[in-house]
């Protein structure tokens, strides 16, 4: 879910070209959603690969996506299963996803919208890049000295 949110965020903030992710889903996946999971997995792999290290014969639409330097797309996740309704829901999210899904009222300016987007992204991805001491050092709740 965080990856999808990042893709929508990237499209909304010009990390990607305008409607790049939406066009990829509309043009490169079956309407019944049967290949959506594999296409997303392929996109995640491309986003995790520097442009110079990508296959030379990679689909042109995929090769246009930028390299996302970070660990967000590094892990190979289990494949999901999609259907027509789920594919359409994803495409619906592509149409002003942040405005419709996270804000009941419209933004007063583009600057306010961008601040909101960055804050939202930081909120949902904070745990991906930092680990608290509590998670690293699990302190037992009982005394093991006997």
- 37 within some domain: yes
pLDDT digits (tens, 9 = 90+) for 64-117: 999 998 788 988 888 888 999 999 988 888 876 655 555 556 667 777 777 777
pLDDT of residue 101: 52
pLDDT of residue 140: 46
- 143 within some domain: no
pLDDT of residue 130: 55
Distance of alpha carbon 134 from the chain centroid: 27
> Residue 138 and residue 146: Cα distance in Å, rounded?
20
pLDDT of residue 58: 94
- 146 within some domain: no
pLDDT digits (tens, 9 = 90+) for 18-63: 889 999 999 999 999 999 999 999 999 999 999 999 999 999 999 9
pLDDT of residue 96: 62
- 145 within some domain: no
Helices (H), 13-109: 20-28, 36-47, 60-63, 84-94, 97-102
Q: Which domain holds residue 85?
A: 2-136
Our CA dihedral for 136, 137, 142, 143, rounded to 10 degrees, sits at 150
pLDDT of residue 138: 45
Tokens of 135: 């998670």
pLDDT digits (tens, 9 = 90+) for 118-127: 777 677 666 6
- 105 within some domain: yes
pLDDT of residue 22: 92
- Among the listed residues 13, 21, 19, the one whose alpha carbon sits nearest the alpha carbon of residue 39: 21
More confident position, 117 or 9: 9
pLDDT at 137 over 60: no
- 142 within some domain: no
- 102 within some domain: yes
> How many domains does the structure of the chain reveal?
1
């Amino acid at each position: 879910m965080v990856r999808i949110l990042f893709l929508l965020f990237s499209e909304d903030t010009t990390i990607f070209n305008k409607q790049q992710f939406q066009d990829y889903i509309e043009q490169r996946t079956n309407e019944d959603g049967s290949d959506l999971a594999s296409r997303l997995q392929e996109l995640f792999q491309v986003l995790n690969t520097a442009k110079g290290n990508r296959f030379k014969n990679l689909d042109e639409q995929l090769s246009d996506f930028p390299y996302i330097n970070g660990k967000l797309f590094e892990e190979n996740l289990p494949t999901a299963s999609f259907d027509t309704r789920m594919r359409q829901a994803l495409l619906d999210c592509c149409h002003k996803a942040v405005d419709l899904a996270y804000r009941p009222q419209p933004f007063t300016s583009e600057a306010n919208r961008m601040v909101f987007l960055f804050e939202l992204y930081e909120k949902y991805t904070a745990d991906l890049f930092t680990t608290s001491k509590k998670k690293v050092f699990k302190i037992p709740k009982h005394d093991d000295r006997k």
